[in-house]
Amino acid sequence: MTKAELYKKACMLPLLPGVYIIRDKSDTIIYIGKAKRLKTRVSQYFREGVPHDAKVSQMIAHAFTFDVIVCQSEFEALVLEASQIKAHTPKYNILLKDDKGYSYIRISSGDWKKLSYTLQKKDDGAEYIGPYKSSYYVKNAVEEANKIFMLPTCNRQFPRDCGKGRPCLNYHIKQCMAPCTGRVRLKDYNENLNRALEFLRGGSTNSIKKLTEEMETAAENLEFERAASIRDIIKSVRKMSDKQKVVATKIDKLKKQYKNFTLNCSMEVKEGMITGFVGPNGSGKSTTLKAVLGLIYIDGGDIQIFGRNVKDIKPEDKEQIGVVLSDSGFSRYLTVKDIKDILKNTYEAFDEQLFTNYIEKYQLPTDKKLEQFSVGMKAKLKLITAICHKAKLLILDEPTAGLDVMARNEMLDMLRDYMEEDEERSILVSSHISTDLETLCDNIYMINEGNIILHEETDRLLSNYAILKVDEEQSKTLDPQYIIKMKKESYGYACLTDQKQFYLENYPKIVVEKGTIDQIITLMIQGV
Protein backbone atom coordinates (compact mmCIF):
# COMPACT_ATOMS: atom_id res chain seq x y z
CA MET A 1 0.00 0.00 0.00
CA THR A 2 1.16 3.54 -0.75
CA LYS A 3 1.44 6.21 1.93
CA ALA A 4 -1.73 7.85 0.58
CA GLU A 5 -3.60 4.52 0.76
CA LEU A 6 -2.37 3.94 4.31
CA TYR A 7 -3.58 7.42 5.28
CA LYS A 8 -7.00 6.73 3.76
CA LYS A 9 -7.20 3.43 5.65
CA ALA A 10 -6.15 5.15 8.91
CA CYS A 11 -8.88 7.79 8.49
CA MET A 12 -11.47 5.00 8.60
CA LEU A 13 -10.33 3.80 12.05
CA PRO A 14 -12.50 4.44 15.12
CA LEU A 15 -11.71 7.17 17.63
CA LEU A 16 -11.22 4.59 20.37
CA PRO A 17 -8.27 3.30 22.45
CA GLY A 18 -6.31 0.42 21.00
CA VAL A 19 -3.09 -1.07 19.68
CA TYR A 20 -1.82 -0.68 16.13
CA ILE A 21 0.56 -3.15 14.45
CA ILE A 22 2.57 -1.92 11.45
CA ARG A 23 3.99 -4.46 8.96
CA ASP A 24 6.41 -4.24 6.03
CA LYS A 25 6.10 -5.81 2.53
CA SER A 26 7.23 -9.21 3.82
CA ASP A 27 4.42 -9.10 6.44
CA THR A 28 6.98 -8.74 9.23
CA ILE A 29 5.85 -6.69 12.21
CA ILE A 30 8.12 -3.63 12.39
CA TYR A 31 6.35 -1.49 14.99
CA ILE A 32 3.66 -1.83 17.67
CA GLY A 33 2.14 1.15 19.42
CA LYS A 34 -0.70 2.22 21.70
CA ALA A 35 -3.18 5.00 21.05
CA LYS A 36 -5.88 6.72 23.02
CA ARG A 37 -7.58 7.54 19.71
CA LEU A 38 -6.58 5.09 16.95
CA LYS A 39 -7.75 7.24 14.06
CA THR A 40 -5.85 10.32 15.22
CA ARG A 41 -2.66 8.50 16.11
CA VAL A 42 -2.27 6.21 13.11
CA SER A 43 -3.31 8.78 10.50
CA GLN A 44 -0.64 11.11 11.90
CA TYR A 45 2.07 8.74 10.62
CA PHE A 46 0.86 8.86 7.03
CA ARG A 47 -0.54 12.39 6.69
CA GLU A 48 1.49 14.56 4.32
CA GLY A 49 3.38 17.47 5.80
CA VAL A 50 3.69 16.05 9.34
CA PRO A 51 7.34 16.17 10.54
CA HIS A 52 8.84 13.04 12.17
CA ASP A 53 12.21 12.22 13.67
CA ALA A 54 14.68 10.01 11.77
CA LYS A 55 13.60 6.72 13.35
CA VAL A 56 9.90 7.27 12.75
CA SER A 57 10.51 8.47 9.18
CA GLN A 58 12.49 5.30 8.48
CA MET A 59 9.73 3.15 9.97
CA ILE A 60 7.08 4.90 7.87
CA ALA A 61 9.20 4.38 4.73
CA HIS A 62 9.11 0.60 5.32
CA ALA A 63 5.43 0.46 6.32
CA PHE A 64 3.24 -1.47 3.90
CA THR A 65 0.09 -2.19 5.94
CA PHE A 66 -1.23 -2.18 9.49
CA ASP A 67 -3.74 -3.89 11.76
CA VAL A 68 -5.46 -2.57 14.88
CA ILE A 69 -6.94 -4.09 18.01
CA VAL A 70 -9.62 -1.95 19.66
CA CYS A 71 -9.58 -1.85 23.49
CA GLN A 72 -12.00 -0.67 26.16
CA SER A 73 -9.58 1.76 27.81
CA GLU A 74 -6.13 3.22 27.41
CA PHE A 75 -4.83 1.03 30.22
CA GLU A 76 -6.00 -2.09 28.42
CA ALA A 77 -4.25 -0.83 25.30
CA LEU A 78 -1.11 -0.26 27.38
CA VAL A 79 -1.21 -3.84 28.72
CA LEU A 80 -1.79 -5.30 25.25
CA GLU A 81 0.95 -3.17 23.71
CA ALA A 82 3.51 -4.44 26.21
CA SER A 83 2.54 -8.09 25.69
CA GLN A 84 2.60 -7.75 21.89
CA ILE A 85 6.00 -6.04 21.89
CA LYS A 86 7.40 -8.75 24.13
CA ALA A 87 5.97 -11.45 21.85
CA HIS A 88 7.16 -9.97 18.52
CA THR A 89 10.13 -7.66 19.40
CA PRO A 90 9.56 -5.35 16.41
CA LYS A 91 12.58 -3.71 14.83
CA TYR A 92 11.54 -0.12 15.49
CA ASN A 93 10.37 -0.60 19.08
CA ILE A 94 12.98 0.34 21.68
CA LEU A 95 10.90 -0.74 24.63
CA LEU A 96 12.71 -4.03 25.26
CA LYS A 97 16.10 -2.66 24.32
CA ASP A 98 16.05 0.19 26.77
CA ASP A 99 14.12 -0.30 29.99
CA LYS A 100 15.35 2.97 31.47
CA GLY A 101 12.46 5.19 32.56
CA TYR A 102 9.80 2.51 32.22
CA SER A 103 7.69 1.04 34.95
CA TYR A 104 6.85 -2.44 36.24
CA ILE A 105 4.26 -4.30 38.25
CA ARG A 106 6.09 -6.15 41.04
CA ILE A 107 4.85 -9.39 42.62
CA SER A 108 6.79 -10.12 45.79
CA SER A 109 8.15 -13.58 46.61
CA GLY A 110 6.83 -15.94 49.30
CA ASP A 111 3.44 -17.50 49.96
CA TRP A 112 1.58 -14.27 50.76
CA LYS A 113 2.57 -12.26 47.70
CA LYS A 114 1.93 -8.53 47.39
CA LEU A 115 1.44 -6.30 44.35
CA SER A 116 3.26 -3.01 43.96
CA TYR A 117 4.44 -0.51 41.36
CA THR A 118 8.14 0.16 40.76
CA LEU A 119 10.48 1.93 38.35
CA GLN A 120 13.35 -0.44 39.09
CA LYS A 121 13.65 -4.10 38.16
CA LYS A 122 15.83 -5.82 40.77
CA ASP A 123 17.27 -9.30 41.18
CA ASP A 124 15.38 -9.92 44.44
CA GLY A 125 13.41 -13.07 43.70
CA ALA A 126 10.23 -11.11 42.92
CA GLU A 127 8.28 -11.47 39.67
CA TYR A 128 8.04 -8.41 37.41
CA ILE A 129 5.43 -7.67 34.74
CA GLY A 130 6.37 -5.10 32.11
CA PRO A 131 8.04 -2.86 31.17
CA TYR A 132 5.31 -0.32 30.50
CA LYS A 133 5.76 3.11 28.95
CA SER A 134 3.17 4.93 31.07
CA SER A 135 4.08 5.01 34.76
CA TYR A 136 0.91 7.03 35.47
CA TYR A 137 -1.48 4.34 34.24
CA VAL A 138 0.51 1.47 35.76
CA LYS A 139 0.67 3.13 39.19
CA ASN A 140 -3.07 3.83 39.17
CA ALA A 141 -3.89 0.34 37.90
CA VAL A 142 -1.91 -1.32 40.71
CA GLU A 143 -3.54 0.90 43.32
CA GLU A 144 -7.01 0.09 41.93
CA ALA A 145 -6.25 -3.64 41.72
CA ASN A 146 -5.20 -3.72 45.37
CA LYS A 147 -8.40 -1.91 46.39
CA ILE A 148 -10.79 -3.93 44.21
CA PHE A 149 -9.38 -7.32 45.16
CA MET A 150 -8.77 -6.28 48.78
CA LEU A 151 -5.04 -7.00 48.86
CA PRO A 152 -2.82 -5.54 51.61
CA THR A 153 -0.52 -2.62 50.87
CA CYS A 154 1.01 -2.34 54.38
CA ASN A 155 4.50 -3.39 55.48
CA ARG A 156 3.32 -6.34 57.57
CA GLN A 157 4.78 -9.73 56.73
CA PHE A 158 2.56 -12.80 56.62
CA PRO A 159 2.18 -15.22 58.28
CA ARG A 160 4.74 -13.70 60.71
CA ASP A 161 2.54 -10.75 61.69
CA CYS A 162 -0.81 -12.55 61.72
CA GLY A 163 -2.73 -11.87 64.94
CA LYS A 164 -0.31 -9.12 66.02
CA GLY A 165 -2.22 -5.87 66.38
CA ARG A 166 -5.58 -4.72 65.08
CA PRO A 167 -6.36 -4.36 61.36
CA CYS A 168 -5.97 -0.92 59.81
CA LEU A 169 -8.60 1.40 58.32
CA ASN A 170 -8.48 -0.35 54.91
CA TYR A 171 -10.10 -3.41 56.47
CA HIS A 172 -12.99 -1.40 57.90
CA ILE A 173 -13.68 0.39 54.57
CA LYS A 174 -13.53 -2.95 52.73
CA GLN A 175 -10.32 -2.30 50.83
CA CYS A 176 -8.30 -5.11 52.44
CA MET A 177 -8.98 -8.74 53.35
CA ALA A 178 -6.83 -8.21 56.45
CA PRO A 179 -4.69 -11.37 56.57
CA CYS A 180 -3.24 -9.76 59.68
CA THR A 181 -6.30 -10.97 61.61
CA GLY A 182 -5.22 -14.57 61.09
CA ARG A 183 -8.72 -15.44 59.82
CA VAL A 184 -7.94 -15.36 56.05
CA ARG A 185 -7.08 -18.66 54.37
CA LEU A 186 -4.05 -18.65 52.03
CA LYS A 187 -6.26 -20.30 49.38
CA ASP A 188 -8.74 -17.39 49.45
CA TYR A 189 -5.92 -14.86 49.47
CA ASN A 190 -4.26 -16.40 46.41
CA GLU A 191 -7.61 -16.56 44.64
CA ASN A 192 -7.96 -12.77 44.92
CA LEU A 193 -4.29 -12.27 44.02
CA ASN A 194 -4.76 -14.28 40.82
CA ARG A 195 -7.90 -12.27 40.00
CA ALA A 196 -5.90 -9.08 40.41
CA LEU A 197 -3.17 -10.40 38.10
CA GLU A 198 -5.78 -11.38 35.51
CA PHE A 199 -7.10 -7.84 35.70
CA LEU A 200 -3.64 -6.28 35.32
CA ARG A 201 -2.59 -8.58 32.48
CA GLY A 202 -5.82 -8.60 30.51
CA GLY A 203 -7.64 -5.40 31.41
CA SER A 204 -11.14 -4.86 32.76
CA THR A 205 -13.03 -6.51 29.88
CA ASN A 206 -11.33 -9.90 30.20
CA SER A 207 -11.41 -9.63 33.98
CA ILE A 208 -15.18 -9.04 34.04
CA LYS A 209 -15.74 -11.93 31.63
CA LYS A 210 -13.83 -14.40 33.79
CA LEU A 211 -15.32 -13.10 37.03
CA THR A 212 -18.82 -13.42 35.57
CA GLU A 213 -18.11 -17.06 34.70
CA GLU A 214 -16.87 -17.62 38.27
CA MET A 215 -19.99 -15.97 39.70
CA GLU A 216 -22.35 -18.09 37.56
CA THR A 217 -20.52 -21.29 38.51
CA ALA A 218 -20.70 -20.40 42.19
CA ALA A 219 -24.44 -19.69 41.89
CA GLU A 220 -25.04 -23.02 40.12
CA ASN A 221 -23.21 -24.77 42.96
CA LEU A 222 -25.41 -22.93 45.47
CA GLU A 223 -22.38 -21.02 46.81
CA PHE A 224 -24.42 -17.86 47.12
CA GLU A 225 -22.12 -16.01 49.51
CA ARG A 226 -19.17 -16.54 47.15
CA ALA A 227 -21.28 -15.49 44.15
CA ALA A 228 -22.30 -12.28 45.95
CA SER A 229 -18.68 -11.53 46.78
CA ILE A 230 -17.63 -11.95 43.13
CA ARG A 231 -20.59 -9.79 42.05
CA ASP A 232 -19.29 -6.96 44.27
CA ILE A 233 -15.83 -7.32 42.71
CA ILE A 234 -17.35 -7.07 39.20
CA LYS A 235 -19.14 -3.86 40.22
CA SER A 236 -15.85 -2.41 41.47
CA VAL A 237 -14.00 -3.33 38.24
CA ARG A 238 -16.74 -1.68 36.16
CA LYS A 239 -16.67 1.42 38.35
CA MET A 240 -12.91 1.66 37.97
CA SER A 241 -13.19 1.27 34.20
CA ASP A 242 -15.69 4.12 34.05
CA LYS A 243 -13.38 6.32 36.14
CA GLN A 244 -10.73 6.07 33.43
CA LYS A 245 -12.95 8.13 31.14
CA VAL A 246 -11.99 11.50 32.64
CA VAL A 247 -14.31 14.45 32.06
CA ALA A 248 -12.45 17.72 31.40
CA THR A 249 -15.60 19.87 31.29
CA LYS A 250 -19.07 19.05 32.58
CA ILE A 251 -22.18 21.17 32.09
CA ASP A 252 -25.11 19.98 34.19
CA LYS A 253 -28.56 21.53 33.67
CA LEU A 254 -27.14 24.92 32.72
CA LYS A 255 -29.87 27.60 32.70
CA LYS A 256 -29.67 31.13 31.34
CA GLN A 257 -32.76 33.23 30.88
CA TYR A 258 -33.07 36.18 28.51
CA LYS A 259 -36.22 38.05 27.52
CA ASN A 260 -37.13 35.85 24.55
CA PHE A 261 -34.69 32.97 24.99
CA THR A 262 -34.00 30.24 27.54
CA LEU A 263 -30.85 28.13 27.57
CA ASN A 264 -31.20 24.74 29.26
CA CYS A 265 -28.49 22.23 28.41
CA SER A 266 -26.17 19.52 29.74
CA MET A 267 -23.03 18.16 28.06
CA GLU A 268 -19.59 16.70 28.74
CA VAL A 269 -16.19 17.16 27.15
CA LYS A 270 -14.05 14.10 27.87
CA GLU A 271 -10.31 14.14 28.22
CA GLY A 272 -8.51 13.32 24.99
CA MET A 273 -11.60 14.06 22.88
CA ILE A 274 -12.64 16.76 20.41
CA THR A 275 -16.29 17.63 20.98
CA GLY A 276 -18.21 19.52 18.30
CA PHE A 277 -21.06 21.90 19.07
CA VAL A 278 -23.47 22.71 16.23
CA GLY A 279 -26.76 24.45 15.74
CA PRO A 280 -28.38 27.35 13.88
CA ASN A 281 -27.70 31.00 14.68
CA GLY A 282 -29.22 32.03 17.99
CA SER A 283 -29.50 28.44 19.24
CA GLY A 284 -27.31 29.02 22.33
CA LYS A 285 -23.81 27.93 21.27
CA SER A 286 -21.94 31.15 22.13
CA THR A 287 -23.98 31.64 25.31
CA THR A 288 -23.00 28.16 26.48
CA LEU A 289 -19.30 28.72 25.79
CA LYS A 290 -19.31 32.07 27.56
CA ALA A 291 -21.02 30.45 30.56
CA VAL A 292 -18.31 27.77 30.67
CA LEU A 293 -15.67 30.50 30.70
CA GLY A 294 -17.45 32.39 33.47
CA LEU A 295 -18.00 35.43 31.23
CA ILE A 296 -21.74 35.61 31.95
CA TYR A 297 -23.85 34.97 35.00
CA ILE A 298 -26.01 31.86 34.93
CA ASP A 299 -29.46 31.36 36.43
CA GLY A 300 -29.02 27.73 37.42
CA GLY A 301 -27.14 24.49 36.98
CA ASP A 302 -23.51 23.54 37.52
CA ILE A 303 -20.40 23.94 35.36
CA GLN A 304 -17.18 22.11 36.20
CA ILE A 305 -13.75 22.44 34.61
CA PHE A 306 -11.01 19.99 35.63
CA GLY A 307 -13.27 18.74 38.41
CA ARG A 308 -13.87 22.20 39.96
CA ASN A 309 -16.87 24.48 39.79
CA VAL A 310 -16.18 27.26 37.29
CA LYS A 311 -16.57 29.79 40.12
CA ASP A 312 -13.79 28.10 42.09
CA ILE A 313 -11.14 27.47 39.47
CA LYS A 314 -7.71 28.75 40.43
CA PRO A 315 -5.36 30.98 38.38
CA GLU A 316 -3.22 27.96 37.51
CA ASP A 317 -6.35 26.21 36.18
CA LYS A 318 -7.15 29.21 33.99
CA GLU A 319 -3.69 28.96 32.43
CA GLN A 320 -4.68 25.45 31.27
CA ILE A 321 -7.49 26.87 29.12
CA GLY A 322 -7.01 28.24 25.60
CA VAL A 323 -9.82 30.35 24.16
CA VAL A 324 -10.92 31.62 20.75
CA LEU A 325 -14.17 33.63 20.74
CA SER A 326 -15.78 34.86 17.54
CA ASP A 327 -16.47 38.34 18.93
CA SER A 328 -13.18 39.03 20.73
CA GLY A 329 -9.48 39.43 20.02
CA PHE A 330 -6.46 41.65 20.50
CA SER A 331 -6.44 45.39 19.90
CA ARG A 332 -6.12 46.24 16.20
CA TYR A 333 -3.19 48.54 17.03
CA LEU A 334 -0.97 45.71 18.32
CA THR A 335 1.64 43.78 16.33
CA VAL A 336 2.60 40.10 16.56
CA LYS A 337 5.72 41.17 18.48
CA ASP A 338 3.52 43.00 21.01
CA ILE A 339 1.28 39.95 21.41
CA LYS A 340 4.26 37.65 21.96
CA ASP A 341 5.48 39.90 24.78
CA ILE A 342 1.99 39.90 26.34
CA LEU A 343 1.78 36.12 26.22
CA LYS A 344 5.29 35.73 27.71
CA ASN A 345 4.28 37.86 30.68
CA THR A 346 0.85 36.26 31.07
CA TYR A 347 1.45 32.52 30.79
CA GLU A 348 4.16 30.73 32.71
CA ALA A 349 4.09 27.81 30.24
CA PHE A 350 4.15 29.98 27.09
CA ASP A 351 6.22 28.22 24.41
CA GLU A 352 7.94 31.06 22.57
CA GLN A 353 9.63 28.77 20.07
CA LEU A 354 6.36 27.06 19.14
CA PHE A 355 4.71 30.46 18.74
CA THR A 356 7.53 31.64 16.48
CA ASN A 357 7.43 28.44 14.42
CA TYR A 358 3.70 28.84 13.75
CA ILE A 359 4.08 32.54 12.89
CA GLU A 360 6.80 31.68 10.37
CA LYS A 361 4.93 28.66 8.99
CA TYR A 362 1.81 30.70 8.20
CA GLN A 363 3.84 33.74 7.11
CA LEU A 364 2.26 36.20 9.51
CA PRO A 365 4.09 39.57 9.55
CA THR A 366 5.53 40.41 12.95
CA ASP A 367 5.76 44.20 12.59
CA LYS A 368 2.39 45.04 11.00
CA LYS A 369 -0.55 46.16 13.11
CA LEU A 370 -3.49 43.76 13.31
CA GLU A 371 -5.74 46.27 11.52
CA GLN A 372 -3.72 45.45 8.38
CA PHE A 373 -4.30 41.68 8.73
CA SER A 374 -6.77 39.77 6.58
CA VAL A 375 -9.62 37.77 8.16
CA GLY A 376 -7.66 34.55 7.65
CA MET A 377 -4.49 35.96 9.20
CA LYS A 378 -6.40 37.16 12.29
CA ALA A 379 -8.09 33.76 12.69
CA LYS A 380 -4.77 31.91 12.51
CA LEU A 381 -3.18 34.27 15.02
CA LYS A 382 -6.05 33.82 17.49
CA LEU A 383 -5.70 30.04 17.33
CA ILE A 384 -1.89 30.20 17.66
CA THR A 385 -2.18 32.32 20.80
CA ALA A 386 -4.68 29.81 22.25
CA ILE A 387 -2.48 26.74 21.84
CA CYS A 388 1.03 28.07 22.52
CA HIS A 389 0.84 28.01 26.32
CA LYS A 390 0.29 24.22 26.47
CA ALA A 391 -3.37 24.44 27.47
CA LYS A 392 -5.17 21.23 28.44
CA LEU A 393 -8.54 22.49 27.22
CA LEU A 394 -9.37 24.57 24.14
CA ILE A 395 -12.72 26.32 23.88
CA LEU A 396 -13.24 27.56 20.33
CA ASP A 397 -16.21 29.54 19.06
CA GLU A 398 -16.39 29.55 15.25
CA PRO A 399 -12.59 29.46 14.77
CA THR A 400 -12.79 28.94 10.97
CA ALA A 401 -15.68 31.31 10.20
CA GLY A 402 -15.15 33.38 7.05
CA LEU A 403 -12.09 31.43 5.87
CA ASP A 404 -11.48 29.76 2.53
CA VAL A 405 -10.96 26.01 2.25
CA MET A 406 -7.15 26.18 2.30
CA ALA A 407 -7.06 28.38 5.40
CA ARG A 408 -9.61 26.18 7.18
CA ASN A 409 -7.60 23.05 6.43
CA GLU A 410 -4.44 24.68 7.79
CA MET A 411 -6.20 25.51 11.05
CA LEU A 412 -7.70 22.03 11.34
CA ASP A 413 -4.22 20.54 10.89
CA MET A 414 -3.02 22.85 13.66
CA LEU A 415 -5.70 21.43 15.98
CA ARG A 416 -4.83 17.84 15.05
CA ASP A 417 -1.17 18.48 15.85
CA TYR A 418 -2.16 20.09 19.14
CA MET A 419 -4.12 16.98 20.18
CA GLU A 420 -1.40 14.61 19.05
CA GLU A 421 1.20 16.27 21.29
CA ASP A 422 -0.67 15.36 24.48
CA GLU A 423 -3.44 12.73 24.63
CA GLU A 424 -4.88 14.30 27.79
CA ARG A 425 -5.90 17.48 25.96
CA SER A 426 -9.50 18.27 25.01
CA ILE A 427 -11.30 20.62 22.63
CA LEU A 428 -14.83 22.01 22.66
CA VAL A 429 -15.45 23.67 19.30
CA SER A 430 -18.54 25.29 17.78
CA SER A 431 -18.86 25.80 14.05
CA HIS A 432 -21.38 26.55 11.31
CA ILE A 433 -19.21 24.57 8.88
CA SER A 434 -20.27 20.98 9.48
CA THR A 435 -17.69 19.47 7.11
CA ASP A 436 -14.94 20.77 9.42
CA LEU A 437 -16.48 18.94 12.36
CA GLU A 438 -17.02 15.72 10.40
CA THR A 439 -13.28 15.33 9.84
CA LEU A 440 -12.16 16.66 13.21
CA CYS A 441 -14.53 15.74 16.06
CA ASP A 442 -14.93 12.55 18.09
CA ASN A 443 -18.50 13.38 19.05
CA ILE A 444 -21.04 16.10 18.31
CA TYR A 445 -23.77 17.86 20.30
CA MET A 446 -26.62 19.54 18.40
CA ILE A 447 -28.47 22.43 20.02
CA ASN A 448 -31.64 24.24 18.99
CA GLU A 449 -33.56 26.96 20.82
CA GLY A 450 -31.40 26.48 23.90
CA ASN A 451 -31.87 22.69 24.18
CA ILE A 452 -29.60 19.80 23.23
CA ILE A 453 -31.51 17.81 20.61
CA LEU A 454 -28.90 15.18 19.75
CA HIS A 455 -25.58 13.84 21.01
CA GLU A 456 -23.74 11.20 19.01
CA GLU A 457 -20.25 9.88 18.20
CA THR A 458 -19.16 11.32 14.87
CA ASP A 459 -18.22 7.95 13.41
CA ARG A 460 -21.66 6.55 14.21
CA LEU A 461 -23.35 9.73 12.98
CA LEU A 462 -21.68 9.36 9.59
CA SER A 463 -21.92 5.58 9.26
CA ASN A 464 -25.27 4.62 10.85
CA TYR A 465 -27.44 7.68 10.21
CA ALA A 466 -29.17 8.06 6.87
CA ILE A 467 -31.97 9.90 5.07
CA LEU A 468 -34.74 7.69 3.70
CA LYS A 469 -36.57 9.24 0.75
CA VAL A 470 -39.98 7.66 0.28
CA ASP A 471 -43.19 8.47 -1.56
CA GLU A 472 -46.65 8.38 -0.02
CA GLU A 473 -47.20 4.68 -0.72
CA GLN A 474 -43.77 3.64 0.56
CA SER A 475 -44.26 5.64 3.75
CA LYS A 476 -47.31 3.52 4.60
CA THR A 477 -45.30 0.27 4.43
CA LEU A 478 -42.19 1.62 6.17
CA ASP A 479 -41.39 0.11 9.58
CA PRO A 480 -41.29 3.19 11.87
CA GLN A 481 -39.39 1.63 14.78
CA TYR A 482 -36.04 3.21 13.80
CA ILE A 483 -37.36 6.49 12.40
CA ILE A 484 -36.20 9.46 14.48
CA LYS A 485 -37.80 12.32 12.50
CA MET A 486 -39.94 12.74 9.38
CA LYS A 487 -40.34 15.79 7.15
CA LYS A 488 -42.87 16.31 4.37
CA GLU A 489 -41.24 16.90 0.97
CA SER A 490 -42.52 17.40 -2.58
CA TYR A 491 -41.83 13.74 -3.43
CA GLY A 492 -43.26 12.36 -0.18
CA TYR A 493 -41.21 12.19 3.03
CA ALA A 494 -37.60 12.50 4.16
CA CYS A 495 -37.03 10.24 7.17
CA LEU A 496 -34.05 10.34 9.52
CA THR A 497 -32.84 6.99 10.88
CA ASP A 498 -29.86 5.82 12.92
CA GLN A 499 -30.22 2.26 11.61
CA LYS A 500 -29.25 2.63 7.96
CA GLN A 501 -28.40 -1.05 7.48
CA PHE A 502 -31.84 -2.22 8.64
CA TYR A 503 -33.59 -0.27 5.88
CA LEU A 504 -31.00 -1.20 3.25
CA GLU A 505 -31.57 -4.89 3.94
CA ASN A 506 -35.34 -4.83 4.37
CA TYR A 507 -36.42 -2.10 1.93
CA PRO A 508 -34.25 -2.48 -1.18
CA LYS A 509 -36.57 -0.32 -3.31
CA ILE A 510 -36.45 2.85 -1.24
CA VAL A 511 -33.76 5.54 -1.58
CA VAL A 512 -31.28 5.48 1.32
CA GLU A 513 -28.82 8.40 1.34
CA LYS A 514 -25.92 9.06 3.66
CA GLY A 515 -26.94 12.13 5.63
CA THR A 516 -24.61 15.07 6.18
CA ILE A 517 -24.53 16.81 9.54
CA ASP A 518 -26.39 19.76 7.98
CA GLN A 519 -29.15 17.45 6.74
CA ILE A 520 -29.39 15.74 10.12
CA ILE A 521 -29.67 19.11 11.88
CA THR A 522 -32.38 20.22 9.47
CA LEU A 523 -34.45 17.09 10.00
CA MET A 524 -33.95 17.16 13.76
CA ILE A 525 -35.26 20.74 13.86
CA GLN A 526 -37.94 20.70 11.16
CA GLY A 527 -39.05 17.08 11.32
CA VAL A 528 -41.78 15.60 13.47
pLDDT digits 0-9 by tens, 74-131? 777 877 787 788 778 888 876 434 444 567 788 888 888 888 888 777 888 888 876 6
Inter-helix orientation angle 135-148/224-243, to 10°: 160
Q: Is the dihedral of CA 144, 146, 149, 150 positive or negative?
A: negative
Query: Residue 247: what pLDDT?
Result: 67
Same domain, 302 and 332: yes
Same domain, 66 and 171: no
Query: Residue 337: what pLDDT?
Result: 92
Strands (DSSP E) along 346-472, which ranges? 393-397, 426-430, 443-448, 451-457, 466-470
Query: Residue 96: what pLDDT?
Result: 39
Count of domains in the chain?
4
Same domain, 437 and 366: yes
- Strands 247-257 and 115-118, sheet pairing: unpaired
- Strands 321-324 and 393-397, sheet pairing: parallel
What is the domain range of residue 330? 247-454
Same domain, 166 and 216: yes
32: helix, coil or strand? strand
Same domain, 434 and 369: yes
Same domain, 53 and 117: no
Same domain, 470 and 483: yes
Query: Residue 238: what pLDDT?
Result: 65
Q: Which residues contact 374 (CB under 8 A, 6 or more apart)?
A: none
Last residue of a domain, one of 454, 474, 505: 454
Same domain, 479 and 448: no
In a domain, 97, yes or no: no
Asked if 271 contacts 247 with a C-beta cutoff of 8 angstroms, the reply is yes
**Burial state string for 504-519 with b = 16 or more CB within 10 A and e = fewer than 16:** eeebeebbbeebbbeb
In a domain, 474, yes or no: yes
In a domain, 317, yes or no: yes
Query: Residue 67: what pLDDT?
Result: 92
In a domain, 460, yes or no: no
pTM metric for this prediction: 0.60
Query: Residue 131: what pLDDT?
Result: 67
Same domain, 221 and 319: no
In a domain, 318, yes or no: yes
Last residue of a domain, one of 55, 88, 121: 88
Query: Residue 134: what pLDDT?
Result: 58
Same domain, 446 and 347: yes
Asked if 70 contacts 80 with a C-beta cutoff of 8 angstroms, the reply is no
Same domain, 405 and 519: no
In a domain, 95, yes or no: no
Same domain, 13 and 48: yes
| DSSP of 447-486 | EETTEEEEEEEHHHHHHH-EEEEE-HHHHHHS-GGGEEEE
Q: What is the CATH number of the domain that holds 30?
A: 3.40.1440.10
In a domain, 218, yes or no: yes
Last residue of a domain, one of 225, 243, 261: 243
Q: In the 3-class helix/strand/coil scheme, how is 485-497 assigned residue by residue?
A: EEEEECCEEEEEE
Q: How far apart are CA 371 and CA 29, in angstroms?
A: 54
Q: What is the CATH number of the domain that holds 275?
A: 3.40.50.300
How many other C-beta atoms can be found within 10 angstroms of the C-beta atom of residue 248? Answer: 24
Residue ranges of the chain whose pLDDT lies below 50: 95-100, 243-244
